[in-house]
Amino acid sequence: MYFFLSILSLLDLSYATTTVPQMLIHLVSKSKTISYVGCVVQMYVFLTLGITETWIFAAMAYDRYVAICHPLHYGVKMSQTLCVLLAVSSALCGLTCALVYTVFAMNLPYCGPNEINHFFCEIPAVLKLACADTSLNDQVDFILGFVLLLIPLSLILASYVRIFIAILKIRSTQGRIKAFSTCASHITVVTMFCIPCMVMYMRPGSEASPEDDKKLALFYNVISAFLNPIIYSLRNKDVKRAFFKLVGTSEDTQ
């Protein structure tokens, strides 16, 4: 679990670093420009990290499934080799699919004015500047969105169906609460990240609102990455004890 959490932390840090520093500079600077190459690089890196994170979520769900449903075989089934393989395959999927996204988007003609109504180079915002038919790009976005969002979400859902069935078989209430608490953080983080991404990348470009897109992007790019460490840290007893001490309550009364 901590192996995947460390990867998730690195992805969130890199994810926000790709866009937030430039956004902050543009807020205080009169010059709000980015080069063509810089835009392409930002788009590719952002997509790579986002796609990789989606599959890491699926790997984490499988990890929880093995830990709860097959605890005695956990060390064998979740070997170090398998964990590394899951992480590498997630990264390769991110690198490959992000390249497809980026190539299809940047092969379109852009006649100007090249003013992106967004705070970074995200595909839906960039496609609005194209002076050509983007229906093929919409189809590509939908197909890749299906593969990169719905398939991992289906795997996550399947894992949690088995997990909840196993939890219901636990006789003690305390045991059920403890088992469920190991999953609550992951479910919350997946929901905050994947639902806005589905809305952003799986709807036709003609239905997209620039202002709504900016709000969605801000949520899954900045707010989600900011809340993830807090959500996972609240599972740590020392962090919980410090939090309860800060708010002036006893942990035993919670």
| Per-residue pLDDT tens digits for 57-101 | 999 999 989 988 888 888 888 899 999 999 999 999 999 999 988
Sequence-ordered list of residues with C-beta below 8 angstroms from that of 227, at least 6 positions apart, any chain: 189, 192
Residue 55, pLDDT > 90, answer yes
Region label for 240, one of left (φ > 0), alpha (ψ between -120 and 50) or beta (otherwise): alpha
Predicted local distance difference test score (pLDDT) of residue 58:
92
Peptide bond into 113 cis (omega under 30): yes
Residue 253, pLDDT > 50, answer no
pLDDT tens figures, 160-216: 899 888 888 878 777 777 777 777 788 888 888 888 877 777 766 555 677 777 777
Q: Is 0.85 topped by the overall pTM?
A: no
- Element housing 238 (H / E): helix 237-247
| Joined tokens for residue 128 | 């609005």
| Joined tokens for residue 69 | 């449903």
Predicted local distance difference test score (pLDDT) of residue 34:
85
Q: Which of 128, 131, 135, 141 is nearest to 101 (CA)?
A: 141
- Cα distances from 119 to residues 21, 52, 126, 166, in angstroms, run 11, 22, 11, 45
Predicted local distance difference test score (pLDDT) of residue 44:
93
The least confident of 56-70, 85-99, 132-146, 223-237 is 223-237
Sequence-ordered list of residues with C-beta below 8 angstroms from that of 60, at least 6 positions apart, any chain: 1, 4, 5, 8, 186
Predicted local distance difference test score (pLDDT) of residue 90:
93
pLDDT tens figures, 113-125: 788 888 888 887 8
Over the Cα atoms of the chain, what is R_g? 21
Residue 244, pLDDT > 70, answer no
Predicted local distance difference test score (pLDDT) of residue 21:
85
The structural domains of the chain, ordered by start, are: 1-229 (1.20.1070.10)
Stronger pLDDT, 106 or 232, i.e. the higher one? 106
Stronger pLDDT, 243 or 80, i.e. the higher one? 80
| Joined tokens for residue 223 | 């707010």
CA distance 174 to 182: 13
Stronger pLDDT, 172 or 244, i.e. the higher one? 172
